[in-house]
Structure 1
């Protein structure tokens, strides 16, 4: 996938499945200038189930897995999820504030949700991400940088970069060099 495979209209990625999360609100000043890469799997270490969608839409059943009892009441979201097959789901329009970063700081500025877009990759810190995920992420990133020019390669980071000590994702299995090379060639 390349940037040509993705377009953004009315702050929505046209190639993405749309699954609106209630967990968002208005950005304080409309700024979109940072891209934050995350990883998630629900249950932890398992892929392909409905858990992530259910979490982001407040429908996670605490009886479906012991771990869900700890997290089912969280109100969290991301703008996008890229699953292991490279399929993209959008939960929050880009002009809205998704609840993905929590306590965070980038370049001396706190509350990164106010000005960032959050992309979740289905995965874990220690398992390699798929070729399809890197291809989709590269295409999506290119479209985002074109639509929101304040996002540039220097303003793309991991959750661990903006919440050090609290978060570890996207983790050591995420190949930053590969991703940055693919952006440069896109």
Structure 2
């Protein structure tokens, strides 16, 4: 895999463009990596519901939970599925809508200066080894492309929106991620 800086695309990732993004206030100010988790339906893995959710095509009749979220317009830059597949929804140079109301290092609106990576998972279920491997690989590439993303500027959604968000949750092994960087 490699990042094409002109397009902001990760070569080797499956591309599934989301309409849920806009321009960053300063495209040169990419300085935070935010780790999330997602499973749709909750605690179920596989299928195309995450792709459908991030592309505004989620069928509210497929699951009761989908009725609650089908009108949300959210995205992330990347998803790392449990089998290691990497999916890109938004080019890195654009502002994905992943963080919501958030703050890091005294700065609000983390979407403005962050890259969001979703892991297919949930707070309390172990993540797959291949997900850590892919996350480490992608993080190293992002750190090369965007040097302001240091080890100290890798955070969970729980860190930038405490009390509102809990992901990637207690099951996420931060030491394991950082050991591979």
Q: Which structure 2 residues correspond to residues 8-47 of structure 1 after superposition, within 5 A?
A: 8-9=3-4, 10-30=7-27, 31-47=29-45
The aligned residue for residue 51 of structure 2 is 53
| d(CA) in 1 for partners of 2:84, 2:163 | 29
Q: Which consecutive aligned stretches of 4+ in structure 1 deviate over 6 angstroms post-superposition? A: none
Q: 2:117 is paired with a residue of what secondary structure? A: strand
Q: 1:128 is paired with a residue of what secondary structure? A: coil
Q: 2:155 is paired with a residue of what secondary structure? A: strand
Name the TM-score, length of structure 1 as normaliser. 0.95
RMSD: 0.5
Q: 1:8 is paired with a residue of what secondary structure? A: strand
Name the TM-score, length of structure 2 as normaliser. 0.98
Q: 1:117 is paired with a residue of what secondary structure? A: strand
| d(CA) in 1 for partners of 2:179, 2:147 | 19
5+ unaligned residues in a row in structure 1: which ranges? 1-5
5+ unaligned residues in a row in structure 2: which ranges? none
| d(CA) in 2 for partners of 1:177, 1:28 | 33
Paired residues, what number? 178
| d(CA) in 2 for partners of 1:36, 1:94 | 13
